[in-house]
Amino acid sequence: MRIAGYLTALVILAIAVVFPQVVNSPLVMTMAIFTLIYAIMTTGWNILGGYTGYISLGHAAFFGIGAYSLSLLSSHITVTTGYEPFFLLPVVGLIAAACAVPLGIITLRTRRHVFVVLTIAMLFIGQLLAINLRGVTNGSTGSGLPQPPWMGSAFNPPFYYTALIVLVIAVAISWWIRQSKFGLGLRAIRDDEDRALGLGINAGLSKLVCFVIAAFFIAIAGGIYAYFITYIYPQFVFDPLADLSMVLMVFTGGLGTVAGPVLGAFLIEPAYQYLTLTYGSSGLYLVLYGALFLVIILLLPEGVIPSVQSLITSQRAKRKSLATTVTPGSRDSATPAAADDLATHGEVRSP
């Protein structure tokens, strides 16, 4: 089963690598880039929300921090080949991680709904700072980034492959965490934090590490988005709707799984882009978007991957029970019992 999973992942990765070579539509490539950006965000967020059970509705603040960090860093470099801002993405992630340390220390002192409220406040505080710190962010007028030198069909592939590389790294780290002893401790915190503390698990440090890792990858996704758009505004990079979409994508694919967040992004983001393009002028896309989430949550409350796994497990259990009921010796053992039963009712007569 595990080998089949690895082979499936390799096939999907191979398809993703050759995708820009067979698809020439700029619209489809743009949708693919946004999907990969959200897949990075959901994978990073799942390390915190899925493995520890701490549901943050404010981690889009680090998306904005990453976008503005790349904008500020890019203003001090000369872009000639177009790839220079991509090399700054690890620095962008580290800046967001440094900001996440004190924020994590403060917010992770709380639990459940109080933690959710504090993370929401964190997002809106970031948006307000971006609007009011005009000397740094240019306020509500927005901030620009260097224009990439690529033109036409050569514009999208660099962003696509950069996002794909970051996604592969994020998924690999998420998989390693889940398989490690550290990941086992995280799941213990998710199930019962007080009992985990009694077992000697350093819950505070573990949660903080996950908080920072999630901020790191979400910030890198924000940097890719900012360079792709080339001009950013506070209300769009510190967007509560983007944060909510990210969380719902994780729940759709499967909270606490490795592939679930990626699957959720691949299912929801293209649908969102299609609805926006089709019904964007009327605002009906928001209603349809909400209805889509409602249907998925009602039909698959545990997410796609856990529901499919439960279905497969139940089918195997049924097959196993049928196999144990009908055995080769059951026919022979049933014959004397049947004869005794017939004899009791006077149906068996000697010749």
Which range of 87-91, 282-286, 309-313, 331-335 scores highest in mean pLDDT? It is 87-91
* Nearest to 245, CA basis, from 208, 275, 279: 275
Q: Global pTM?
A: 0.86
Residue 98 lies in a domain: yes
Beta strand segments in the chain, E:
143-144, 231-232
Residue 216 lies in a domain: yes
Lowest average pLDDT, out of 91-105, 124-138, 161-175, 268-282, goes to 268-282
Contacts of 77 (CB under 8 A, 6+ apart): 84, 85, 88
Q: What is the pLDDT of residue 4?
A: 74
Cα–Cα distance measured from residue 101 to residue 65, given in angstroms and rounded to the nearest whole number: 14
Contacts of 278 (CB under 8 A, 6+ apart): 285
Domain with 129 in it: 25-239
Residue 73 lies in a domain: yes
Residue 10 lies in a domain: no
Sign of CA dihedral 260, 261, 266, 272: positive
Residue 83 lies in a domain: yes
**How does residue 125 score in pLDDT terms, banded at 50, 70 and 90?**
very high
Residue 297 lies in a domain: no
Residue 226 lies in a domain: yes
Q: What is the pLDDT of residue 9?
A: 84
How many independent structural domains does the chain possess? 1
**How does residue 280 score in pLDDT terms, banded at 50, 70 and 90?**
low
Residue 154 lies in a domain: yes
pLDDT tens track for 33-53 = 999 999 999 999 999 999 998
pLDDT tens track for 173-229 = 999 999 999 999 999 999 888 898 888 889 889 999 999 999 999 999 999 999 999
Q: What is the pLDDT of residue 238?
A: 92
pLDDT tens track for 294-333 = 887 788 777 888 878 787 888 878 888 787 775 555 444 4
183, 245, 280 from 288: Cα distances, Å: 37, 13, 11
